[in-house]
Structures are given as structure tokens and as C-alpha cells.
Amino acid sequence: MGKMIRIHLCVALLGLAVAATECPAAGQQPAKVKGEPCQSLSLAPQVLPPARQGMPYSQQIQVFGGEAPVNLMLTAGGFPPGLAMSQDGVISGTPVSSGDFSAEIRALDGCRPMQQQASRSYRILVADKSGAEISSPSMMIRQKLKVTIVPDPARLSIPAGKAGEKIPLVYKMTAQPAETAILASPGVSFLVAGSVIESAAKPLDAVLVNGEAAVAETITIPRRAIEAAKRERANILYNRAFSGRGTTAAAVVEITILEAAPAP
């Protein structure tokens, strides 16, 4: 039996601060509307970047969907010596030896009446201190990208009566150095007053060509987020994080729900 690690359902954006965003307190979870099915459970990212012997390493295992609490366990293999996974799903440390390592991580959620599970196998290549490749040139450690994402629109207002309609969004990206790369976003989250109201697995990839990309999607605001915004008298933050080439960048859209004016 692998080591059990417990995390509460909260989308972690790999250290990126988002407008006073905080995870719910231990044991606290957004209220699930009675009769609604549990959202499917998934783990991200799909692959982990390579590491280098003697250099600090840190990568976040993210959980999307499911019902809190979510437990993570290592079911096969192991991390490179010097690396370990924390309670909130961060694999970090300083590798002490080079090599090719594999680890399988499984997530179990609190869905009722039937618990859900999701597994993903990860491979971590650790180069020696010189940065020499372990096996394939495609896995060579490369320079991290610095990515900027501008959502269009970044702010919008929606009448309460039209909150369930589809909203088109476009993400415009620039990267330095201006290279060709793929950025992957496994899912999204809706936050109100600093709490994650709902997260969902909704994969979206962006292909950077000479350091530029534009990718579009449509979103629908969940009923729970609308009700929370009304209750807290706060705006909704829609978060989507893109990862690739050793970096993560987040796009945040601020949504205001407009209440109907009272009849005279």
C-alpha cells in the first residue's frame, strides 16, 4: 500500500497569486447542489519536466473535478532521491543522483454514493550536474519560457437572467524567448470571495509559434458560482492556468453578476 497524502479540493496554480485567492479551510468544501452528479476526477499535468542533479526542483500535482476531500497516494515506483511530495501535492526537493525515475499517483475523492478515482503515471528524468541528457534529445533540459497571457475580455458584466448563457473568451499569449512550444491547460476553476466554488477538467492546448499564440473557448458560469456571488456580494473569478517548458502562467477573468433593478 502506498503512502497516503490528503489534500482538500483546491486548484493550486503553482505558486501564482490570484487576487487574494485562498483554499477553503480544512474540512470545508463548497456545497454540492442536491441531485447533481459529481464532476469527473482528473490529475494534471500530463508530464513532468526533467530535473538536474543538485538543483532545486518543484512541480505541482493538480486535482480537477471530484468532491472534497481528495486523497493522493503513491501506488507504484518512486520519486528520485531527494524529492518528495507534500500534503498539498507539490513534488519538490533537490535531486541527489541522476537517472530515469517513474512514479504512479492515484487520487480518491469523497463522491457519494460511489467514490471516484483517477491515476496517472509520471516519468522524471534527472540529468547529471553537467546537464547531460539521460536518454532522448527531446527530453533535454531547455530554457524556461516567460509567458504572458491576456484574456479578452478580462472583465465583463452579465445580467443575472443571462448568467447561464455561453460566453466566448480568447487568450492572447506571448513568450520569451520567442520559440515554438505547446502549453497545456488541464482545467479551470471558479472562485468567489477567495474560495474555490467549482473546478472542472476542461483541457485546452495552445501552440506557440515564434513566441505567439491565440486560443479561444466558450464558458458557462455554474449555478453554484452565481449563487455564491449573490450571497457574498462579490465578483466571480474564472481561472485557467497554462503549463509547459517548465513554467506556468494564469489567465484570470473577472465576472460581475448584475442584479435586476427592483420594480418601482
What would the DSSP string read from start to end of the chain? -PPEEEE-S----TT---TT--PPPTT--PPPPTTPPPPPPEEE-SS---EETTS-EEEEPEEESS-SSEEEEEEEE-PPTTEEE-TTSEEEE---S-EEEEEEEEEE---SSS--EEEEEEEEEEE-TT---SS-GGG---PPPEEEEEEESSEEEEEGGGTTS-EEEEEEEEEES---EEEEEEEEEEEETTEEEEEEEEEEEEEEBTTEEEEEEEE---HHHHHHHHHHT--EEEEEEEEETTEEEEEEEEEEEEPPPPP-
pLDDT band at 252 (very low <50, low <70, confident <90, very high): very high
Q: Average pLDDT of 232-258?
A: 91
Contact (CB, 8 A) for 98 and 55: no
Query: Over 80: is that where the pLDDT of 260 sits?
Result: no
Task: Give whichever of 32-36, 147-151, 199-203, 205-209 has the largest mean pLDDT.
Answer: 147-151
Last-in-domain residue among 139, 168, 203: 139
CATH code, 30:
2.60.40.10
pLDDT of residue 12: 37
Pair 18, 91: CB distance under 8 Å: no
Checking if the pLDDT of 216 tops 70, the result is yes
pLDDT of residue 110: 86
* 21-69 confidence digits (pLDDT tens): 334 433 334 445 555 678 888 888 878 888 889 999 999 888 888 888 8
Query: What's residue 87's pLDDT?
Result: 74
Question: How far is the C-alpha of 183 from the C-alpha of 244, rounded, in Å?
Answer: 5
Taking the whole predicted model, whether its pTM rises above 0.75 is answered as no
- The last residue of one of the domains, among 114, 139, 164, is 139
Mean pLDDT estimate for the chain: 79
Q: What is the pLDDT of residue 95?
A: 92
- pLDDT on residue 8: 40
Structurally, the chain folds into a number of domains equal to 2
Residue 191 sits in the same domain as residue 243? yes
Confidence of residue 151 (pLDDT cuts 50, 70, 90): very high
Examine residue 40 and state whether it is found in any structural domain, yes or no.
Answer: yes
- Res 97: pLDDT: 87
- Tell me, what's the pLDDT at 134? 53
Please give the pLDDT value at position 43.
84
pLDDT higher than threshold 70 for residue 256: yes
Inter-residue contact 19 to 252 (CB < 8 Å)? yes
Chain centroid, CA 6 distance in Å: 17
Cα–Cα–Cα angle for 240, 208, 153, rounded to 5 degrees: 40
Give the separation between CA 92 and CA 246, rounded to whole angstroms: 14
78 with 36, same domain: the answer is yes
CA 177 to CA 255: how far, in whole Å? 32
Q: Which three cell numbers stand for residue 3?
A: 503512502
Average pLDDT over residues 185-212: 89
Regarding whether 248 and 192 lie in a shared domain, the answer is: yes
Domain that holds residue 98: 4-139
Residue 137 clears pLDDT 80, i.e. is over it? no
Q: What local confidence, expressed as pLDDT, does residue 261 receive?
A: 56
Across 8-12, 125-129, 137-141, 147-151, the highest mean pLDDT is recorded for: 147-151
Cell 553537467 appears where? 130
Whose cell is 550536474? That residue is: 129
What is the tens place of the pLDDT at every residue in 62-93?
888 888 888 888 888 888 999 998 877 889 99
Strands 51-52 vs 117-127: parallel, antiparallel or unpaired: parallel
Neighbours of 140 (CB within 10 A): 14
pLDDT at 244 (0 to 100): 81
In a domain, 263, yes or no: no
pLDDT tens, 153-188?
999 998 877 767 899 999 999 998 887 788 888 889
65 and 160 in a single domain? The answer is: no
Please indicate, yes or no, if residue 264 is contained in any of the structural domains.
Answer: no
Domain boundary among 139, 158, 181: 139
